[in-house]
Amino acid sequence: MKTIDLSGGMVFITGGGGSIGGAIAVEAAHAGASVAVADFKLDAARQVAETIVAHGGVAHAYQVDVTQAESVREAMADAVEGLGPMVGLVTAAAILRTGSVATQSEAGWHEIMAVNVEGTFKSVQAAVEYLRQTRGAIVTLGSVSAYIGSEEGAAYTTTKGAVLSFTVASAGDLAPLGIRVNAVSPGWVDGGFTHEAMSHMDDPQQLVETANRMHYLGRMATPTDVANAAVWLLSDQAAFVTGTSLLVDGGYMIKRG
Ligand SMILES: NC(=O)c1ccc[n+]([C@@H]2O[C@H](COP(=O)([O-])OP(=O)(O)OC[C@H]3O[C@@H](n4cnc5c(N)ncnc54)[C@H](O)[C@@H]3O)[C@@H](O)[C@H]2O)c1
């Protein structure tokens, strides 16, 4: 049986200290990759790296701010030197800001664009020189929000739409260099931003029940559900897949009511 094999290569993950990024780090390590866990929150990145190492894998934690190209470039150079040739980049770093078009502050708008959109661009650009050498792959983080919007989420929705368009543009630009670029687009994920939203609610259980109902498969995704799809897209098993947004949404997008 064919298995997903990333051994001998390094996967660099922004937002690797987060819920989905952390799960991708763990699954990339299961597939044999060494992992650079890069996050604004160094403690969170360290925890993920330590978990991987405790299970026999190879990982380093890096403090990066994806809004600062130099910070990403420095971490990537160090990771390539210490962990091996980069075969994959995953851009999971992002922030969530709520507000409708009518109420969204300009400052909040710029802040979320800087992390979710420009941070994705800066991370991808920094990785090109390394990935062209290995004919590696990139996975960005989209969302069903990119297609159908999200309540009180004008800016967030816009960033996810931009990430998907950027993914398509990058897939075309980087194909001649042998680099594939795809997105994974989850529905609700039981972790990260969903838990952050729940922490501001009087009745978080009601949100869980509503979210579960919205997926044909009757539940939210686990971070590992998303990670498995991302690692597959990084692997040679997806050798002819580029420029796509893979819905990992339990049927959310096709559910009628
Ligand atoms: N949770 C969901 O339901 C859901 C659904 C669809 C898509 N997504 C996407 O998945 C990705 C990960 O989200 P999550 O739910 O795991 O959230 P999360 O908050 O657990 O992870 C995001 C990580 O990004 C890091 N980060 C933020 N700003 C940064 C910066 N400037 N530089 C470096 N790192 C930075 C955070 O510290 C955090 O660890 C995001 O792109 C999000 O849009 C999440």
Check which CATH number belongs to the domain holding 73 and give it.
Answer: 3.40.50.720
Assess whether the C-beta atom of 41 lies below 6 angstroms from ligand 1: yes
Q: For ligand 1, atom 26, name the residue with the nearest CA.
A: 93
Assess whether the C-beta atom of 155 lies below 6 angstroms from ligand 1: no
Read off the amino acid at residue 205: Q
- Chain segment 7-17, per-residue pLDDT in tens: 999 999 999 99
101 and 41 inside one domain: yes
Percentage of residues in the chain having pLDDT higher than 90: 94
What pLDDT does 256 receive?
A: 86
* pLDDT(190) > 80: yes
Separation between Cα atoms, residue 9 and residue 35, nearest integer Å: 9
- Domain tally for the chain? 2
* pLDDT(114) > 90: yes
Instruction: Quickly count: other Cβ atoms within 10 Å of residue 207's Cβ.
Output: 15
Strands (E), 187-251: 245-248
Tokens in use for 165?
């368009």
36 in a structural domain: yes
Tell which one of 40, 144, 190 to mutate to probe ligand 1, the residue whose CB is within 8 A of the most ligand atoms: 40
- Chain segment 69-104, per-residue pLDDT in tens: 999 999 999 999 999 999 999 999 999 999 999 999
What pLDDT does 151 receive?
A: 87
Classify the phi-psi angles of 123: left when phi > 0, otherwise alpha if psi is within -120 to 50, otherwise beta.
alpha
117 and 215 inside one domain: no
Tell which one of 13, 27, 39, 145 to mutate to probe ligand 1, the residue whose CB is within 8 A of the most ligand atoms: 39
pLDDT, average across residues 35-50:
98
What pTM, to 2 d.p., does this model score?
Answer: 0.98
Assess whether the C-beta atom of 156 lies below 6 angstroms from ligand 1: no
80 and 205 inside one domain: no
What pLDDT does 6 receive?
A: 98
160 and 209 inside one domain: no
**Ligand 1 atom nearest to CA at 95:** 27
Read off the amino acid at residue 94: A
Separation between Cα atoms, residue 141 and residue 160, nearest integer Å: 8
Residue partners of 102: CB distance under 8 A and separation at least 6: none
**Ligand 1 atom nearest to CA at 196:** 19
Confidence bin at 192 (pLDDT 50/70/90): very high
Confidence bin at 228 (pLDDT 50/70/90): very high
Range of the structural domain that residue 128 is part of: 10-186+225-243
Confidence bin at 128 (pLDDT 50/70/90): very high
Assess whether the C-beta atom of 115 lies below 6 angstroms from ligand 1: yes
16 in a structural domain: yes
